[in-house]
Amino acid sequence: MSDFLSKERITANATFNRWLVPPAALAIHLSIGMAYGFSVFWKPLGNALVGEDGKPLAACAAGATTFGDKLSGTAKALFATDCNWTQFDLGWMYTLFFVLLGCSAALWGGWLEREGPRKAGLVSMLCWCGGLLLSAYGVYSHQLWLMWLGSGVIGGIGLGLGYISPVSTLIKWFPDRRGMATGMAIMGFGGGAMIGSPLATKLMAHFATPVSPGVWQTFVVLAFIYAIFMTCGALGYRVPAVGWKPANWAPPDNAKNSMIATHHVHLNKAHQTPQFWLLWIVLCMNVSAGIGIIGAAAPMLQETFGGALIGQPDIGFADIKKDEALTAAAAAVGAGFVGIISLFNIFGRFAWATSSDKLGRKRTYFIFFVLGALMYCTATYVAGLKSLALFVGAFCVIASMYGGGFATIPAYLADMFGTQFVGAIHGRLLTAWSTAGILGPVIVNYMHDTRLEAGVPFNQIYAPIFLVLATLMIIGFIANFLVKPVDKRYAMSDKELADVRKISHESSLQSNQSNSGDQTKDPASNVIVILAWLAVLIPISYGVSVTLQKAWGLFS
């Protein structure tokens, strides 16, 4: 087993087709991307326990208003079996997901570079799917702490390892298209919920009974489905031999482009450079400005436009809340808004990252920050004019750049630090995501709640929030402006690089007799590539179809 998972075993031979690696990466990212879709379980879990009268039991933190009261209620909910969980209790799963994702990627990124993506992918599968099974038992026994431990902690570690597992490998397989390669994989993480959420909804409906919402059974089924996909993805990983390059491709003369390194920086020195911390700020600001507002997309649209969403422009959101029928109609439009910005978030990852191959990474991030600040200011203005089309358009652009920032940063790191440790360096940089996952929602939710408590009308709540988020984009612009080429004193010498490759069991072209080129003329290889892509494109097509159906409510 150790030999089967070794880096020597997965070093590709002369017949391997590099286009098999992206679908392998997508299989893993589409599976762990369900972390974004866990909110589909909140309502069913919040009503999981019912009394003899058939009605849901009271919540463990019923009546709590202050943050301290809510924390006290959550502490009780961790072990209580006689009260239902609140959304506040369950929402900590999101925090655990993305904090553990960043921490595990930072801690084990170096291990991944040494041991290879196949071993990391399988460990990710065991953590993510094992965490789902433990969470299933937590739901069955109504123990919140088991859910936090299962999916939140153990699953969060799986998220981190799975997220960074293909980064270094894809960049090495596609030196001619770094941005496109990472964009394809990271697009999958954004699309995981697009597939998993409707599937989970159907499974819960199938397993539901009068006394059970069918959640634990859904977790078990999802765990087995994801285990199959992630195992196939991990086994599909291959790494190129040292010195490999695509056929008929000559490395560009980067001597004239100082923003693309011709050397490699060791993982242990990367964080000593100012470039690492500037890019940390770049990612943190881009994510912070997007994650909070995307997480509140549906209520933001309903509160800002009120009755205009349902053909009654004379009434506000406060009036809609008093009528169940109007509330349901507005919620349907809000769900359509969430659907359409989800699509822009997903496909923006591929489009912007691919564009960065031509534009350059620094210029691409300049576009993100300038255009993002303009879109937030535009949203402030058009919200006052009640122009729904322009408002939705602004946030579609913002969502695309939010996703594009995730997909472009690995290629930016490869340009700055070389490709030898780019996966591990990317893992450490993802702590910026963990920070942003707290910072962005805190800014948006705190300002929203304080303005609401101050009696500000619903349709005027978000304007200053947008301006604060535009300020974050300006901070990111400044950090990106300050990024310069990494000083060569941080580069590894030829001997150090050779020693690192020896420790990592990397084979050279001479030792495994691999050649340079793509094996696209082999009919058998092409058939396998087509089947591999169909295995991931069919679920993606299903997710897009379902999402478009939801988005139609926004237009109809």
Over the stretch 200-235, which tens digit does the pLDDT of each residue have?
999 999 999 888 899 999 999 999 999 999 999 999
Please give the torsion angle defined by the CA atoms of residues 108, 288, 453 and 84, in that order, rounded to the nearest 10 degrees: -30
**Which pLDDT band holds residue 2 (cuts at 50, 70, 90)?**
low
Q: Which of 41-50, 446-455, 519-528 has the lowest mean pLDDT?
A: 519-528
Q: What is the pLDDT of residues 426-442, one digit of tens each?
A: 999 999 998 998 898 88
Angular region, 306: left φ>0, alpha ψ -120 to 50, beta rest: left
Q: Which of 33-42, 132-141, 218-227 has the lowest mean pLDDT?
A: 33-42
DSSP class of residue 146 equals H
Dihedral of alpha carbons 242, 243, 245, 251, sign: positive
**Which pLDDT band holds residue 317 (cuts at 50, 70, 90)?**
confident
For the chain, give the mean pLDDT.
Answer: 88
More confident residue, 75 or 118: 118
Average pLDDT of the residues in 124-151: 95
DSSP class of residue 239 equals B
Q: What is the 3-state secondary structure (H, E, C) of 156-187?
A: HHHHHHHHHCCHHHHHHHCCCCHHHHHHHHHH
Average pLDDT of the residues in 276-304: 89
Q: What is the CA radius of gyration of the chain?
A: 24
Q: Which of 21-30, 394-403, 511-520 has the lowest mean pLDDT?
A: 511-520
Distance of CA 145 to the CA centre of its chain: 24
Supply 341's token pair.
């910005």
Average pLDDT of the residues in 323-328: 82
Q: Which of 230-244, 293-307, 527-541 has the lowest mean pLDDT?
A: 293-307
Dihedral of alpha carbons 27, 31, 35, 38, sign: positive
More confident residue, 258 or 77: 77
Write out the DSSP string of 42-57.
Answer: HHHHHT--B-TTSSBP
Of 134, 116, 115, 136, nearest to 126 (Cα)? 134
Q: Is the pLDDT of residue 166 over 70?
A: yes
pLDDT the model gives residue 509: 57
Burial 87-117 (b: 16+ CB within 10 A, else e): ebbbbebbbbbbbbbbbbbbebbbebbebbb
pLDDT the model gives residue 514: 45
Separation CA 282–CA 478 (nearest Å):
9
Write out the DSSP string of 503-537.
Answer: HTTPPBHHHHT--SS--TT-HHHHHHHHHHHHHHH
Separation CA 517–CA 27 (nearest Å):
25
Separation CA 547–CA 241 (nearest Å):
41
Q: Which of 175-184, 251-260, 533-542 has the lowest mean pLDDT?
A: 251-260
pLDDT the model gives residue 87: 74
pLDDT the model gives residue 337: 86
Separation CA 265–CA 420 (nearest Å):
8
Query: Which residues on neighbouring strands pair with residue 239, listed in sequence order?
Result: 11
pLDDT the model gives residue 66: 67
Query: Which residues on neighbouring strands pair with residue 242, listed in sequence order?
Result: 508
pLDDT the model gives residue 435: 92
Distance of CA 127 to the CA centre of its chain: 17
Average pLDDT of the residues in 463-467: 93
**Which pLDDT band holds residue 391 (cuts at 50, 70, 90)?**
very high
More confident residue, 359 or 59: 359
More confident residue, 76 or 288: 288
- The one-letter amino acid at 418: G
Supply 176's token pair.
């001619």
* Close Cβ partners of 303 (under 8 Å, ≥ 6 residues apart): 317, 458, 459, 461, 462
More confident residue, 38 or 481: 481
* Close Cβ partners of 87 (under 8 Å, ≥ 6 residues apart): 42, 46
pLDDT the model gives residue 522: 63
Separation CA 502–CA 242 (nearest Å):
11
pLDDT the model gives residue 215: 93
Average pLDDT of the residues in 186-212: 90
Judging by beta carbons within 10 Å of its beta carbon (0-12, 13-18, 19+), is residue 52 exposed, middle or buried? exposed
Quickly tell me which residue has 């925090």 as its tokens: 95
pLDDT the model gives residue 64: 59
DSSP class of residue 153 equals I
Please give the torsion angle defined by the CA atoms of residues 122, 126, 128 and 130, in that order, rounded to the nearest 10 degrees: 170
- The one-letter amino acid at 266: H
Q: Is the pLDDT of residue 1 over 60?
A: yes
Q: Which of 50-59, 84-93, 420-429, 512-521 has the lowest mean pLDDT?
A: 512-521
Distance of CA 543 to the CA centre of its chain: 16
DSSP class of residue 243 equals T
Separation CA 389–CA 396 (nearest Å):
10
Percent of the chain with pLDDT over 70: 93
pLDDT the model gives residue 143: 93
pLDDT the model gives residue 513: 45
Q: What is the pLDDT of residues 497-520, one digit of tens each?
A: 888 888 776 766 554 444 455 555
pLDDT the model gives residue 556: 62
Range with top average pLDDT, 115-119, 122-126, 420-424:
122-126
- The one-letter amino acid at 292: G
Average pLDDT of the residues in 276-282: 97
Q: Is the pLDDT of residue 387 over 90?
A: no
pLDDT the model gives residue 298: 80
* Close Cβ partners of 60 (under 8 Å, ≥ 6 residues apart): 73, 74, 76, 77, 80, 83, 84, 85, 86, 89
Average pLDDT of the residues in 60-89: 76
Domains annotated on the chain, with CATH: 1-55+71-246+499-550+552-556 (1.20.1250.20), 259-486 (1.20.1250.20)
Q: Is the pLDDT of residue 105 over 90?
A: yes
SS3 label, residue 59: strand
pLDDT the model gives residue 511: 47
Q: Is the pLDDT of residue 81 over 90?
A: no
Separation CA 429–CA 103 (nearest Å):
10
pLDDT the model gives residue 255: 58
Contact criterion met (CB below 8 Å) for 23 and 535: yes
pLDDT the model gives residue 512: 45
SS3 label, residue 545: helix
Separation CA 181–CA 410 (nearest Å):
10
Separation CA 161–CA 426 (nearest Å):
11
Average pLDDT of the residues in 341-361: 93
Q: Which of 12-26, 289-303, 412-426, 473-487 has the lowest mean pLDDT?
A: 289-303
Separation CA 99–CA 498 (nearest Å):
34
